[in-house]
Every structure is written in C-alpha cells, then in structure tokens.
C-alpha cells in the first residue's frame, strides 16, 4: 500500500525544488499528518529515554527507543542509529512533537533498538567536529547498547543529508574501526547524503567556508566525504574491513545532492570494481521518506528493516 494520495500530491507540489522554506513546509505537513492518524504502535510496547549523553558537549545527545520486552541480559536486538540532516546548521533529534521520534519508534516496533543522534552544528562547530561526534556516538553505543537490549555486534548507522555526509566522513577516515579487522558498525546507509558541496551557491559556500575554517575551496572539497574517499591509499582501502554500504536517493532530490552521490558511485566503481547497493526512492523528495516513516503506506522503513535482517543473515 503506497502513501496516501494527499502525501503524494504534497510532494509533487515541490518536486526537486529545495530550500529552507520547502523544508519547513515539509516539517509542518508531516507533523500535521502524524498527529491526525492513530499511532501504528502502542506506546505500551515501546520504552524510550531522551537526551542520553554520549559526550561532554550539550549537542552530544541520543534519544533511544527499544521494545518493552527487550532483555538487557540477552541483548540480541539489532541497533539502528539515525543521524539527522540540516545543512550543518540546524536539526535535532526532536524537530516536532512526532518527529524524529517516528523513526526511533518505528525501529523499536520491529524488534530493534532505534536511536536518534545529534551532533555539534554551526556556528560553533568546526571540521572535524561532526565527524568525530558521529564516531563518538557509535562508540558509546557499542559500549552501552546492551543496557537497552541492543547487540553491540549488530549496529547499523543511517545518516541523512548532512548527517549522511558526516557518517561517510567517519567511515572513510577510519574513525569507525575498532581494530584492523573489526568495525563499530555492521552496515552504513547513506540517505541523500551530503558527500560533496556546490560551493558556487552563495549560501553553501559561506556555510562550508565557516565549517572548514578556510576559503580554499579545493581544501574543502578534499575534506568532504567524497574527497576523503578519493584520498584513501589504494592499498589501505583493499585491506580495510568495510561495513555493508547502502545508498538511497529520492526521485526528487535536488541537483547538488544527486550529482555528488553519482560521482561517488563512479569513484567507488572505479576503485572497488563493483557498485554498492543503491536505490532511488520513487515519489519522494529530500526528506519525505524520513518524515513519513511509520505512517500507513510507508515502504522505506520496511526496506531498511529488510536490509538489516539480510545483513545479519549473511554473517
């Protein structure tokens, strides 16, 4: 069953148009929609804890959702961690009364530990703060997920937009490695990830110059997720244990996002002689597939659950 016609029509109003006003419109629309439908999962079947600290900064926070019947003793639940987007400037675990709790609750309803993670933002943050925050959050979960029934050997990290860029930076810089043969995460899903930037856009150029602390655009590109991947030593990349990698783009994603992801896929194919799992989400824009997760007709959440389960079956 697809998403309601009302939701599809809303997305088609904007198609690939994207700016802060469209983002605000999406948040208002999907918050209203979540509020208007009966919860798909009874709150009694899920437990949650907000603002769990994984580090010293006020932005070092996790919201954790887990099945009420999960056992801290056995700790067998897969752990799915979502890092939000927001152009390195905005965003949080809670952006409205129902979001992004919809994501955490959805995964908890599937017998998993759902985690929302936030990180340091502009104007205070500077590279590599966000990358280090993502790694610190995942390290904390590796050490503590068992308290919520989570299996430390079955952690899957999702990053959307800027959060996806930071997650990819952490992965390709080796920050997610426990040791030479083990990773903090079993899988990485990049959702419309900010893998590189169109610095000719005035707003993007100013933000990235502030974040990276330089006006040298070549240096900024080199330290992006795509640049980090390109700069990996070939021999080091061959031996590095890489988690299962999965990329998603929306049909109506904006040009900057699409171009950087396609360039990454070309570079990945050249280096690895294969293509990572890649999927286009029909009928969605840059954020609609995340904001609609858990609603009737949501097909993206179940796809992610299926990916997690298949990865674990292959072990």
Q: Where are the alpha helices (DSSP H) in 16-100?
A: 20-36
Owning domain of residue 126: 5-314
CA nearest neighbour of 24 among 105, 87, 109, 115: 87
CA angle 288, 36, 20 (to 5 degrees): 35
The CATH number of residue 247's host domain is: 3.40.50.1820
pLDDT in the model for residue 39: 79
CB 114, CB 52: distance < 8 Å: no
Judge whether 256 and 222 are in contact, CB under 8 Å: no
Rg over alpha carbons for the chain, rounded to the nearest Å, is 18
Please give the Cα distance from 239 to 247 (Å, whole number): 22
Half-sphere exposure of 64 (CA within 13 A, CB side): 25
pLDDT, block means (10 residues), the chain with 315 residues? 93 97 98 91 88 98 96 90 98 98 97 98 98 98 97 97 98 89 93 98 97 98 97 66 90 98 96 93 98 97 98 85
pLDDT at 73: 80
Using alpha carbons, select from 161, 159, 267, 158 the residue that is nearest to residue 204: 161
> How many domains, the chain?
1
pLDDT at 315: 63
Helix (H) or strand (E) holding 246: strand 244-250
CA 83 from centroid of its chain's CA atoms: 4
* 3 state SS of 27: helix
């Amino acid at each position: 069953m697809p998403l309601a016609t009302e939701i599809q029509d809303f997305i088609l109003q904007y198609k690939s148009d994207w700016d802060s006003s469209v983002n605000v419109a999406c948040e208002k629309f999907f918050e209203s929609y979540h509020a208007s439908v009966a919860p798909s999962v009874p709150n009694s079947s899920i437990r949650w804890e907000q603002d769990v600290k994984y580090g010293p900064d006020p932005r070092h926070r996790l919201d954790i959702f887990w099945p009420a019947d999960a056992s801290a003793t056995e700790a067998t639940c897969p752990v799915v961690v979502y890092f939000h987007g927001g152009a390195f400037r905005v965003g949080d675990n809670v952006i409205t009364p129902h979001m992004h709790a919809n994501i955490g609750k959805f995964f908890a309803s599937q017998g998993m530990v759902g985690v929302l993670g936030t990180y340091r933002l502009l104007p205070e943050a500077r590279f590599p703060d966000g990358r280090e925050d993502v790694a610190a959050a995942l390290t904390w979960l590796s050490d503590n997920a068992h308290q919520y029934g989570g299996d430390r050997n079955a952690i899957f990290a999702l990053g959307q937009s800027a959060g996806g860029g930071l997650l990819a930076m952490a992965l390709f810089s080796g920050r997610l490695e426990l040791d030479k043969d083990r990773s903090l995460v079993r899988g990485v899903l990049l959702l419309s990830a900010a893998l590189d930037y169109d610095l000719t856009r005035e707003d993007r150029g100013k933000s990235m110059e502030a974040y990276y602390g330089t006006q040298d655009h070549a240096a900024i590109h080199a330290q992006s997720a795509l640049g980090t991947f390109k700069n990996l030593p070939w021999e080091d990349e061959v031996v590095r244990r890489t988690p299962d990698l999965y990329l998603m783009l929306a049909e109506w994603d904006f040009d900057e996002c699409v171009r950087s992801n396609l360039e990454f896929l070309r570079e990945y194919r050249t280096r690895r002689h294969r293509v990572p799992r890649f999927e286009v989400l029909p009928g969605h824009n840059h954020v609609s597939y995340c904001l609609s997760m858990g609603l009737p007709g949501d097909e993206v959440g179940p796809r992610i659950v299926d990916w997690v389960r298949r990865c674990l079956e292959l072990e």
